[in-house]
Amino acid sequence: QVQLVESGGGLVQPGGSLRLSCAASGRTFSNYGMGWFRQAPGKEREFVAALNWNGVLAYYTDSVKGRFTISRDNAKNTVYLQMNSLKPEDTAVYYCAAGRGTYYYTRTYDYNYWGQGAQVTVSS
């Protein structure tokens, strides 16, 4: 089992920044590719960003490219999502997830473990 706990969400004005953190415990963190997903009210959960086990390979959905950065610190068992130039349409609950292997994955069914979610609200 892998336990994931997100933190760092909150309310921010359009154009602002937030950094989400996801602390992992349980099994060896570096055995897993990690991802971030989000779910807005009334919508399906969607892929945001993912990273392979050593942080070399990253992938982003088009709507966040150039604004969001995913990173990880395997010594701290933590994955991050730096979000800049936030827009109201980024408002959602953000979830981190641990994948089925060491690569990065973009589909929800490739992830076996999920955090409880962190609310991000972008509003003036």
Chain-centroid distance of CA 67 in Å reads 13
- Categorize the per-residue pLDDT at 58 as very low, low, confident or very high, splitting at 50, 70 and 90: very high
8 A C-beta contact, residue 18 and residue 111:
no
The chain-wide mean pLDDT, for the chain, equals: 96
- CA–CA separation, 45 vs 108, rounded Å? 8
What pLDDT digit, counting tens, does each position of 13-51 carry?
999 999 999 999 988 999 999 999 999 999 999 999 999
**Structure tokens given for 31:** 């055995």
Which residues lie closer than 8 Å to 120 by C-beta, 6 or more apart? Answer: 9, 10, 12, 18, 20, 38, 83, 86, 90, 91, 92, 93, 94
**pLDDT band (50, 70, 90) for residue 106:** very high
